[in-house]
């Protein structure tokens, strides 16, 4: 930040959905401000790009609110698992990661769990462990 200008950017920005953020309890150190941060009418907001900006009571509430689901994914295939999590890519370790994901779902830290590349062939050790875990974490019938 320099000359009274602040900038925020996203290193890996995604342009196909909106994000709303606010800065709270902002403090300026080593800068002489023309007006206090508690005087929003004394500030000029400028922007570059197709987004909205505001300060103080000039902030506009979002026109609509929606929830973007956060889905956790873990590999069910030994080769895919090894690429993401390293060795050993044993059925037990794949199940351990799946249990970790299901715990996050149960605790409300994500909206769902997907196991991709899961071997569904008869007698698959990974499938049997995954099936047992999904059954263990399945909500009671009254909640479905």
What domain range includes position 99? 71-143
Residue 45 falls inside a structural domain: no
Residue 138 falls inside a structural domain: yes
Q: Which residues pair with 116 in a beta bridge?
A: 75
Entry pTM: 0.55
Residue 129 falls inside a structural domain: yes
Task: Give the torsion sign (CA, 61, 62, 65, 67).
Answer: negative
Residue 44 falls inside a structural domain: no
pLDDT of amino acid 1: 39
Residue 85 falls inside a structural domain: yes
Residue 55 falls inside a structural domain: no
Residue 135 falls inside a structural domain: yes
Residue 52 falls inside a structural domain: no
pLDDT of amino acid 36: 83
Mean pLDDT for each 10-residue chunk of the chain (144 residues)? 51 60 76 82 76 67 76 92 91 95 94 92 93 90 70
User: In Å, what is the CA distance from 92 to each residue of 88, 105, 115?
Assistant: 9, 20, 14
User: What stretch of H or E contains 75?
Assistant: strand 71-75
The domain total for the chain is 1
pLDDT of amino acid 114: 92
Neighbours of 25 (CB within 10 A): 5
């Amino acid at each position: 930040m320099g000359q009274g200008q602040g900038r925020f950017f996203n290193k890996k920005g995604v342009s196909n959905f909106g994000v709303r953020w606010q800065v709270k309890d902002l403090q300026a150190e080593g800068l002489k401000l023309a007006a206090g941060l508690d005087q929003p009418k004394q500030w000029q907001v400028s922007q570059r790009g197709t987004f909205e900006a505001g300060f103080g009571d000039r902030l506009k509430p979002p026109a609509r609110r929606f929830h973007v689901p956060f889905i956790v994914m873990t590999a069910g295939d030994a080769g895919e698992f090894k690429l993401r999590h390293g060795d050993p890519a044993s059925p037990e370790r794949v199940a351990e990661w799946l249990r970790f994901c299901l715990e996050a779902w149960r605790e409300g830290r994500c909206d769902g769990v997907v196991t991709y590349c899961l071997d569904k062939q008869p007698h698959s050790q990974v499938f049997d462990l995954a099936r047992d875990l999904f059954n263990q974490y399945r909500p009671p019938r009254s909640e479905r």
